[in-house]
Amino acid sequence: MNQKGIKLAPVQIIPASFFLAIMVGTILLMLPVSSASGRGTDILTALFTATTSICVTGLVVVDTFAHWSFFGQFVILLLIQVGGMGMIAMASTIMLLTRKKFSLTDRMLLRDAFNLNSDNKILRFLVWVIKGTLLVEAFGAVCYAFVLVPRFGWKKGLWSSVFNSVSAFCNAGMDVIGSNSLGDYRSNPLFMSVTIALIVCGGLGFVVWFDVLGRVRDGVRRRFSPLTVIKRFSEHTKLVLSFTIFLLLAGTVIFFCLEYDNPGTIGAFGFGGKLANSFFQSVTLRTAGFTTFPQENLRGASCMAAYIFMFIGGSPIGTAGGIKTTTFFFLIMNVRSYLRNQDENVIFHRRVSEESMRKASAIVFVSAGAVMGLTALLCVVNPVPLEDALYEVVSACGTVGLSRGLTPSLNALGRLTIIIAMYLGRIGPISLVALFAHNGSDANKVKYSEGKFYVG
């Protein structure tokens, strides 16, 4: 953090660490041993794959299962795991394992990496994150094995199970089981249920995990009713769970109605299949990137809904991307309070701080600006239909990984544009928010008289 007199702030270290990981991953994936053919991979393909892995996006320009050797797939899996937990969290994990002492600066950096408000008990939180992540991923791998081992045999079946579990939990959306993502398993209840559970667990956020587990454990010990346990959840947990359920159900209804008779998506299924795959589409748009049907077959209205769900993403302090559920909800609350002429925004009988409301507005503004600018750039450097370009960029910025078949056909400049979008999407919710929260404190010391301006 201090090299030759140069000091880097956490908001600089975090994006720098992701950039360094991308460079290392690129070099490893360029090696002949990383490709199935035994020949080296070109730098742009390796760079794109390393970026989509560390940013847990899932957009690919070559088939993961066919192009890469076991070593290459292992590198990709390692990048996904590091990207899902965060570079700083992984570095801190190594420090814990080697019993290195954490300085105050290290604790502050870890706090900013998790986007927490306090570094109180941060190391205990890190240990919980590590244990919880490994436990959930192991459980997912075991469940997948019941489906994949009978099909592929022990060696490939177990490897595919582990890869898919880590990828699903980290919301990466990459797999090594075939060329059509999860299309061959869309009628398998166990496979689909496990995938949904892993995606949702990763997207809810670690804070919600531990609050729910702690309250349930306390409720069982003290013999509380289920309703009492739920009431004791923190306001953040209540907001995340309720808004997540709303978004998942709303997405299911929207895609079920809009795609009901579309033979290219869910039209050929029975009623139950239509409902199940509509629900999966709603889940995977929360930055997971898996798909059970080609996204290019979606109707225009469905694409519009997909833009919104991908832009929102998952919840804070988890593996998902996007602007986050709480951010979007705060934006809605801000509009609601203005229309109702209310001075405060109150959720579950708790006031939302002015700083949180400003932060939410900043995130939405910056993210929307990035999406519009990069979409325009993609259309200029790689002329494609606007609908497909916007889908690609929103997916990249939200680290979703869904594509309307555009990714493999992008030219060099188009791929570089998507690489930038994925990188900005991964570091944006962490570094940009911290930057907005801490800069400009000197300007607050100067007070000006109120001016008369007209709005609207």
Q: Model's pTM, two decimal places?
A: 0.86
Q: Report which secondary-structure segment, H or E, holds 351.
A: strand 350-351
Which residues sit opposite 2 in a β-bridge?
7
Tell me, what's the pLDDT at 450?
Answer: 73
Geometric angle at alpha carbon 310, from 304 and 313, rounded to 5°: 145
**How far is 400 from 163, CA to CA, in rounded Å?**
17
Tokens (6 digits) for 117: 């408000």
Tell me, what's the pLDDT at 2?
Answer: 45
pLDDT digit string, tens, across residues 185-201: 888 899 999 999 999 98
The amino acid at residue 326 is: T
Low-confidence ranges of the chain (pLDDT < 50): 1-5, 429-430, 433, 436
Tell me, what's the pLDDT at 239?
Answer: 92
Tell me, what's the pLDDT at 90?
Answer: 63
**How far is 364 from 367, CA to CA, in rounded Å?**
5
Which residues sit opposite 7 in a β-bridge?
2
As a dihedral over the C-alpha atoms of residue 12, residue 58, residue 60, residue 37, rounded to 10 degrees, the angle is 100
Cβ–Cβ < 8 Å for 53, 174 = yes
237-243 long-range contacts (CB < 8 A, ≥24 apart) are 237/207, 237/208, 237/211, 237/212, 238/348, 239/325, 239/326, 239/329, 239/347, 239/348, 240/204, 240/205, 240/208, 240/315, 240/316, 240/325, 240/326, 241/204, 241/208, 243/325, 243/326, 243/329
Q: Report which secondary-structure segment, H or E, holds 60.
A: none
Cβ–Cβ < 8 Å for 429, 436 = no
Tell me, what's the pLDDT at 359?
Answer: 84
